[in-house]
Amino acid sequence: MSSGFGTRAVHAAQRPDPTTGAVIPPLSLSTTYKQSAAGEHTGFEYSRSGNPNRNNFEEAIANLEGAKFGLAFASGSATTATIVNSLESGSHLISVNDVYGGTYRYFTKVAANLKITTSFVDLSDPANIEKHFKPNTKLVWLETPTNPTLRVIDIKAIADRAHAHGAKLVVDNTFMSPYFQNPIAWGADIVIHSVTKYINGHSDVVMGVAVTSDEEWYKKLQFMQNSLGAVPSAFDCFMARRGLMTLEVRMQRHAENAQAVAEYLQSNEHIEEVIYPGLPSHPNHELAKKQQSGFGGMISFRVKGNLDNVNKLLSNLQHITLAESLGGVESLVEVPAIMTHGAVSPEDRAALGITDTLVRISIGIENKEDLIADLEQALAKAY
* Whether the Cβ atoms of residue 83 and residue 170 lie closer than 8 Å to each other: yes
206 phi and psi angles, rounded to 5 deg:
-105, 120
Tell me which of 8, 138, 168, 197 is the catalytic residue.
Answer: 197
With b for 16 or more beta-carbon neighbours within 10 A and e for fewer, the 142-178 pattern comes to bbbbbbbbbbbbbbbbbbebbeebebbbbbbbbbbbb
Tell me which of 172, 236, 356, 374 is the catalytic residue.
Answer: 172
Q: How many helices (H) and strands (E) does the chain have?
A: 13, 12
Residue 331: strand, helix, or coil = coil
Is residue 197 part of the annotated active site? The answer reads yes
96 phi and psi angles, rounded to 5 deg:
-55, 140
| Short-list 5, 2, 1, CA closest to 249 | 5
Tell me which of 98, 100, 161, 349 is the catalytic residue.
Answer: 100
How big is the chain, counted in residues? 383
Tell me which of 48, 68, 105, 312 is the catalytic residue.
Answer: 48
Is residue 100 part of the annotated active site? The answer reads yes
* Whether the Cβ atoms of residue 192 and residue 221 lie closer than 8 Å to each other: no
Distance CA 365, CA 256 (A): 9
CB-CB neighbours of 133 under 10 Å: 18
Is residue 172 part of the annotated active site? The answer reads yes
Give the β-pairing of 69-73 and 208-212: antiparallel
Is residue 236 part of the annotated active site? The answer reads no
Q: What single letter denotes the amino acid at residue 137?
A: T
Which distant-in-sequence residues (6+ apart) come within 8 Å of 21 by Cβ? Answer: none
Evaluate the omega torsion of the peptide bond into residue 148 and state whether it is cis, within 30 degrees of 0.
Answer: yes
78 phi and psi angles, rounded to 5 deg:
-65, -35
CB-CB neighbours of 208 under 10 Å: 27
Distance CA 136, CA 50 (A): 33
Catalytic sites, residue numbers: 48, 100, 172, 197
